[in-house]
Amino acid sequence: MPIRIGANPIGWSNDDLRTLGGDTPLETCLTEARAAGFEGMELGHKFPREAGALKAVLSAHGLDLVSGWYSAELFTRDADAEIAAMRPHLDLLKALGATVLVFAETSNAIHGDQGTPLSKRPVMKADDWAEYGRRVTAVAEACLAEGVRLVYHHHMGTIVQTAEDVDAFMAATGPAAHLLLDTGHLTFAGADPVAVARRWRDRISHVHCKDVRADVKARVLADDLSFLDAVVAGVYTVPGDGSVDYVAVLKELPGYSGWLVVEAEQDPEKAHPFTYARLGHDNLARFAAEAGLVLAA
């Protein structure tokens, strides 16, 4: 699969704080995404979840399904129970031809709680990684047996947030479990996305591309805000509008094939979605070319 550039609808309508872009129709999101140059979309809460209806909506705009977020609860159930719970989501991705499943542990996460500061995020005990990794690996192997790669989404406000968390997670999981590299979340967490990409390049199968406004990040951390308050404050933006060196990151992914996804949650009242979508797409395409990656014709 050659490299393609996709988008996440979170730039138009936020999934965790639904007052952001709540009135924006899905039709507007898809029309503008296609006009901005994107070839595919990840799922959001406004998308139909029946395969035929979803395919019709996306096809009408010339878009493919990239993937979709899955909220895991492997702290509170075993691998078999998780696989059963994810069955409708996995089947939907398969039916639409998606090859990766975005997987994140949310049973104890605080990223969706606007009243909880990031300093209160859950931290995994060292002795718990082995069992958690075993469970994730079992789920990843089950997905891969059906032709879909599990890609783990490290995320602010969750157990896998820092570079050290990513390393612990990757060490605890088997080769079936891959990483979703998110440049924005790593930078916000104080990590170097270039170094993480270099360290785990052989197990990176999906990339989320958001940029970070360094001045907003500093203020958010100093004031110990929640993740959602940070989003509202504008900590994230599209590639090329912040502090991330995208050419350096992408140079660490030689031979990468799959999707590069612009996934930059902002307040649409402050950051006009189409304007930023087009900016993000064009910047990312240029950065990929400068890094020597070949985009689909």
pLDDT score recorded for residue 296: 86
Residue 297: pLDDT above 80? no
Q: Tell me the per-residue pLDDT of 242-256, one tens digit each, with 9 for 90 and over.
A: 999 999 999 999 999
Distance CA 129, CA 116 (A): 24
Q: Tell me the per-residue pLDDT of 206-253, one tens digit each, with 9 for 90 and over.
A: 999 999 999 999 999 999 999 999 999 999 999 999 999 999 999 999
Classify domain 4-290 at the CATH topology level: TIM Barrel (3.20.20)
Token pair, residue 66, equals 């990239």
pLDDT score recorded for residue 171: 98
SS3 for 226-254 is EHHHHHHHCCEECCCCCCCCHHHHHHCCC
Token pair, residue 105, equals 């542990």
List, in sequence order, the alpha helices (H) in the chain.
26-35, 51-59, 79-95, 129-145, 163-172, 183-188, 193-200, 214-223, 227-233, 246-251, 273-290
pLDDT band at 90 (very low <50, low <70, confident <90, very high): very high
Indicate the domain borders of the chain: 4-290
Distance CA 264, CA 13 (A): 11
Distance CA 183, CA 192 (A): 8
pLDDT score recorded for residue 2: 84
pLDDT band at 1 (very low <50, low <70, confident <90, very high): low
Q: Tell me the per-residue pLDDT of 124-159, one tens digit each, with 9 for 90 and over.
A: 999 999 999 999 999 999 999 999 999 999 999 999
